[in-house]
Structure 1
């Protein structure tokens, strides 16, 4: 890096399966450029299995990510890293607002990246260095999952775009197809202010799935349905033209003929509301996986309607999330955080004999403290709807699905049948369902648990009027 270089460091803004490994390998072919991988991935530093970079350990980075960012900036080579939407959000504003950080934006057709991601998950092969070791698999195309994939990418790209616009910066855009183009790569080096050039791309990595799309899918006919769920023109646009998208509505549930719609609260167990709605509608299946258009169609078909959600006590909902997604689920990153930061090492699902009430209490208390830090932007792990505050979930859906009623778990037997009064309907009685649990909140509840719940979900306690949990 020379004194007249326009940048001190760089970031490759990308997503999984967009070709970022290949871009990194090619950047590392240039003298004077070093790309260190996924430096702010919550599982590791730089690359899988690595726990330290430039003298900063994984635990130190989790406590103070800015120290590692400063170390990268002060390296003698022009040094950078890859950053995805679910990496440590605490560093994002710092490097995005820094004009001395070069922004390289890598994009790929979302359909290709989605299918590639599904294949990588199925084969557990994330990079290919030798075609002799290639693993193959056919995967199923899921229209709702694809919509979520596209929406997630667009939301991150739109966020990046706005930060560039409001700070008066520009970026170097790379498409997946450019990742091995020597002329484009040399142009990128020139833009970065590096004098070295390359004659050929790196030979370390190979494209993993060059086959036609229909050969990679078990149900290629489902792609047409998946495309119909989206504004297809967004698929090939660069971030400069990404539309501001509202919240997804596929989480809503509605009766096919009756004017009743329900927003299940993410993370909480359904107390039987969906079965009750089907009973109200003569046994018809409850409609799900709405698109923006199909939801508007439902609204137009039911101008006089009741859209409702059910509020759960923050502690009860958090306890359900902890049991289903952390103790018995697949949230390995959260489990690792609880072990590393709070010293709570949960057993694997096939070794639950060692999981007792004492560990249950310690684990749940640690989870509440994790949620408090996570919702305050103090962890490297993304906030998921399952443990986001109910207040924010409601705010997010109100633009497309204004809620008429916020019901509470304790009064559903009275309030659900009462929804029919204003609609001129005689709705059946409702009896809440509960799932038996080996470990219950009541078995570990005390003042310390309540205080931790209030610290994590102060917004819900205040905005939604919750009192201490009473069972």
Structure 2
């Protein structure tokens, strides 16, 4: 490294099952940064099966670990390693007291890391590169074992904190949930003094167990009972790794003269709202294709306004996306994923006579499972607005303009005309329109479909209060 760089090397202080493999893969995406894995693990150097690094053998490292530490420091790239509480403690005081060593502290909810560790031990799958090879298992919660797990983690974290405080240093704290956040990762590169940036996280590894806690344990009640007096680990939250969505002003629709604007949920069908908006505005075309500037102009022109969106049941919306964008659309990458991972071969447009109800059910179920993996960052396919959760779409929009009304599609006949009351307007009635479908959700719906929908869109079910789908 150059003399004007803030650091000569770095360490990622973490524990097993905190996402350190993912952080390593993402650090290695940056030009000029190299993370060499667990170089002070007693069983290997760097990674499983490796016995030499930078000319230092495993036996030489065991005799003199400082030789390997100095070799890492002297590399041309900004080079570092991952260090856990049970790694070679002889090097810990040296690199912790060295201000030229950057300290990155990776943390994760201890309950999540404990359950993840139990699952990895049960399945013997410690990394996931392709969701197709994922192994699943339910494990038991042992209160005494969990207490020991937490005690070890907290003891090491307390030791690290004291070393930082007594040496007058600071560290870069990275949460497990931020391990794939490009903005956070680029911020880390800035803190490390590096000019390189990345546009996307590494696709080499996937999150292994994104399911809710209750689905991973054979005895989830033991957790509740054992920790009923406190919620130190935020157990009640729904795990969610879906990327945040920015404001989609281009998707907004607004009346030309009336103070009424609408955010259509991507992927959902229009139940006739756009025609109704043109009707209430005396037939004027509904304004669309907003830019940030033209949208601000519309807001300034209509300081008293009604801005609404229409919520669709997550399962019904997913069914529409599957029909229009996967079955009849151009999502070749999704179709290929369904075939490769789930064994569902969808016919091309000129062979739709082979598509029947059985294949429709299999295809839609496979799509729901794809959506669950995709929204949890387990596929190489980007999360598109069409199948992103409605909750994330709404969160993104709120950064640009506050939504006044979240209307449900089955209540539009009542709720749309009521928008005029607060605006002093008499708005006409609304009659929803439904597009006929050859293959319907009702024809294939059952408990398995519902469970797959909940697994994919747990955030929408919980945050927006949806119950099981009904025809």
Q: TM-score, normalised by structure 1?
A: 0.53
CA separation of 1:173 and 1:12: change in aligned 2, threshold 3 A: closer
Matching residue of 2:155: none
Where do 1:37-436 residues align within 5 Å?
Answer: 61-63=129-131, 93=179, 161-166=186-191, 168-172=192-196, 247-436=247-436
Larger-Rg structure: 2
Q: Offset of 1:171 from its aligned partner?
A: 3.5
**SS of corresponding position for 1:288:** coil
Contact 1:247 1:396 in 2 (8 A): yes
Q: Offset of 1:292 from its aligned partner?
A: 1.2
Contact 1:62 1:380 in 2 (8 A): no
Q: Offset of 1:163 from its aligned partner?
A: 3.7
**SS of corresponding position for 1:308:** strand
Distance 1:447 1:275 in 2: 36
Contact 1:248 1:292 in 2 (8 A): no
Distance 2:133 2:29 in 1: 15
**SS of corresponding position for 2:261:** strand
Output one character per residue of 1:186-230: Cα deviation in whole Å (capped at 9) or x when no partner: xxxxxxxxxxxxxxxxxxxxxxxxxxxxxxxxxxxxxxxxxxxxx
Contact 1:256 1:281 in 2 (8 A): yes
**SS of corresponding position for 1:329:** coil
Distance 1:408 1:248 in 2: 20
**SS of corresponding position for 2:308:** strand
Contact 2:189 2:197 in 1 (8 A): no
Q: Offset of 1:11 from its aligned partner?
A: 4.2
**SS of corresponding position for 2:299:** helix
**SS of corresponding position for 2:249:** coil
Q: Offset of 1:349 from its aligned partner?
A: 1.4
Q: Offset of 1:93 from its aligned partner?
A: 4.5
Q: Offset of 1:165 from its aligned partner?
A: 2.2
Output one character per residue of 1:30-76: Cα deviation in whole Å (capped at 9) or x when no partner: xxxxxxxxxxxxxxxxxxxxxxxxxxxxxx8424999xxxxxxxxxx
Contact 1:373 1:379 in 2 (8 A): yes
Contact 2:251 2:264 in 1 (8 A): yes
Q: Offset of 1:457 from its aligned partner?
A: 0.8
Q: TM-score, normalised by structure 2?
A: 0.53
Distance 1:173 1:340 in 2: 32
Output one character per residue of 1:335-383: Cα deviation in whole Å (capped at 9) or x when no partner: 1111111111111111111010000000000111111111111111111
Distance 2:188 2:28 in 1: 16
Output one character per residue of 1:241-292: Cα deviation in whole Å (capped at 9) or x when no partner: xxxx962411111001000000000000111101100001010011111111
Distance 2:306 2:294 in 1: 17
Matching residue of 1:470: 470
The answer for unaligned runs of 5 or more in structure 2 is: 1-7, 11-23, 32-127, 135-175, 199-244
**Residue range with higher mean Cα deviation, 260-269 or 367-376:** 367-376
Output one character per residue of 1:57-99: Cα deviation in whole Å (capped at 9) or x when no partner: xxx8424999xxxxxxxxxxxxxxxxxxxxxxx9x948x9xxx
Distance 1:461 1:256 in 2: 34
Matching residue of 1:184: none
Contact 2:254 2:288 in 1 (8 A): yes
Q: Offset of 1:445 from its aligned partner?
A: 0.5
